[in-house]
Structure 1
Amino acid sequence: MSEMTALNTGSNDKMMTRHYGRIWLKVILWIYGLLVAVSVVGSGFKMVVGGNAAELFNFANNAFLALIAGTLATALVQSSSTVTSIIVGLVAGGLPVHMAIPMIMGANIGTTITNTVVSLGHMGCNKEFKRAFAASTIHDFFNYLAVLIILPLELMTGFLSKLSLSIAEMLVGGQDMSMNFNIVKFLTAPAEDIVKGFANLLPDATLGGLAMIAFGIFLIFSAVVRLGKLLKKVMTGRAKNVLEKSIGRGPVSGIASGAAMTVMVQSSTTTTCLMVPMVGSGLFTVRQVYPVTLGANIGTTITAILAATAISADAAMPAMTIAMVHLFFNLFAVAFIYGIKPLREIPLYAADKLADLAVKRKAYAFAYLALAFFVVPALAILVTQ
């Protein structure tokens, strides 16, 4: 009997190994697809605009409008990883970095809508709903505050773009890129050439470029969604254990675990959405999960950095620069806002007061979602045109 049990256990272990092996193979293939997609978007953008990218995006010379565009796009797509990867591709195709910076910041704001929607599931119990809604909107208010502080500083001094450019130069080899061998570009070039071949069959270069952009965006979206689902199958359990063990051990542990979990599952939304029901049920407090939210902001930047590695030599510098902007924006926001106690308390206070209003009248919760993520951004775009 024990021999049969041992045989069954061994057989099950082999089946699980094969199962996880297939999942990890799919993960690798979808990462490859993401890298190809970003490169395709950049090449397609170049075909459409030639050397006139700045003129095409003159509307975004208004930093506020670029910020709103990033927010609205991410709220609609429901993935900051998708939007930031697309922005990296556009920068590689000629979109100026200074125009892309507010868009990247807007993506941070737009991604927070999902966990706020998750909190609505606790509406049946006022106590749970108050905790859950506060836990979800603290992410919103932190990101609003980060943009209010850092975007004006960047517009006045350019400190983010300068620092990011310096780091990008170290990572990709300085301004003289022609002698460097990019292994990622070498691997993705054959697939990109196939897409270009189909695009060149179209009667006009502009149409071909638009077709490449559309295909690239579709592939980016598909890759991010599929990667999230695959990684959740193999990593969410472990990531959740990391989260539960680290919460309550202090802010540094919380930030580190939030970043690690987000890298593991490739989704800041997954990280923050896992926390909302934990707080709603009373397992943790809003203050305890606050640092984890900040870590999720940092962890999600890995996607843009990964995407930038697929860019060809002539465009690698601006692509890596905007990816570094995304990283340093979140690092500085965490260090500056969370590191200064009066600033640290603002998101907690705002989330708590909004949760009080939402508990009194549930319509306020829906009104907040509609206004913050769709109505105000759409009106801002219309007014500034």
Structure 2
Amino acid sequence: MTVMSVITLCGGIGLFLYGMKLLSSSLERIAGAGLEKTLEKLTSNRLKGVALGAVVTAAIQSSAATAIMAVGFVNAGIMKLVQAVPVILGANIGTTVTGQILRLGDISNDNIFLMLLKPASFAPLCIAVGATILLMSKKKRTKDIASILIGFGILFVGMTTMESTLAPLKDSESFQRIFFLFKNPLLGVAVGALITAILQSSSASVGVLQAISSTGTVTFSMAAPIIMGQNIGKCVTVLIASIGTSKKAKRAVYIDLIVNMLGAAFFLVVVYGYQALVGFPFWDNVVNRGNIADFHSLFNIVTCILVFPFTNQLIKFSRRLVKDGEASKIEEGLAALNDIFLNTPSVALEQCKKAILSMGETVQENFEIAVGLFEKYDEKKVQKLEENEKFLDRTESVMVEYLLKITAKDISIPDSRLATEIMHSVSDFEKIGDYCGHLAEEAERHSEQNVTFSADGQREFTYAAEAVRAIIGMTVQAYAEENAVIAARVEPLEETVDLMEETLKNKHIERLQSGTCSTKSGISFVEVLNAMDRIASHCANIALHLTQRLSSDSFDAHAHLRNSHDGVPDEYKALCHYYESQYLEPIK
């Protein structure tokens, strides 16, 4: 080969890999978070899990992406290990679809209609149509569809370029001698694994082998061990992605590796054993793209069938490899925010929402602890509150950094809107946690300085706490259910809490003037009211941003607040009256 031939070959490989990446990433964006919801819902049955893994992989053209998602869900606690294993097995089957598509290059030129299915014919058309749509369309989804067409076309242009560059090698004795070495099964497996590990894709590695087969020098005995090794090599991508994940997630990765190693071992014994005893008539026959695609499919389907009944045994073995250990609340809570999801931004954002819900549940717990401390101060409960506060602080810090990584990618408009809302909400939940801490500090002061509220003050404190408890619960529920109706009820309750703060401060001043309340308890009472009012305000912020995301692009937050406070909507006025009757009227 000349220097220019090598450069052209490298260019062809580059086009092929870029086309596959563009195709896969565009398909993932279109599928979006629906992939996650589908995986979560349909993996209770193992057979469904295998089918789902195959379908998702065929749809997004990446077994590594599917396996990484499954590992990520195990890491986040969304999916159990026993659910993830069938998905990974199915992903191994789904990845063979790419090779079956690439075999279209073997179609005969005899028939004009069949000839149109050849990559050389439709690849330029795909690129032309995709580029036209991409340049003319302004809609994100339409552009993603255009990117799929362009990626598909570039993939086949790269394939054709590789084939045309490699064609002269069919007469090269050196090239034939090199490939003859791959008749050694162990060497073939090692080379297949190495190339796939470098390319980070078994589909790409199989595609390159299919391109080389166009030279007419690759026989079945050479291709078979390479294909076996390719399935082992693709596990490297998932292994790299699993760095920093939980022990359960690492088990899923090791199971994927073990499955492919067992499959390779089984095929080596059966294929080479049969060849030694009986002999395959096609052993030294030259293979084409279709033959390679078929053996790749056969390997993964048979491996899945053989391993599927022993899923539980694989899980037990993985537990021996990776033993259990204790994880802190912070580690468990942040497991969802793993870089493993970043290649699928919509899924990564769904994980952020789950982490925020953990924050919401934590602030609910901290508020209950803080309020309870005024009745009975307990150091153990204070320690729990402080542990929760560390979790909230750490989650906010990690979440902001994680969101910056997500928004640095090419994400859709809905995902961009979601990222903005999450950025605001995580800050508000963290501040609610801070004010729960302020309440706990006031309770500590009561305990140390023997401060108590007056009878009226205690009664007012109870009603104020009930109102704030309700608004926190309502906010968390609205966020969990993504319910705009529930979110709309938060602002009227926040306004009621504002009125309560103003009313109770005035009543408190009267008690101070009359001498029925001490100065120490008076200062503490005002601090408590301020903290509760700020908690309610941050709940209203969260509800507002949630409503903004769930509404249309034309949503105007300032107009929403203006209309709310002007009392225009009758429903808003009715809710305000209801909350006032519940929490304010009894203590006026």
TM normalised by structure 1 equals: 0.44
TM normalised by structure 2 equals: 0.30
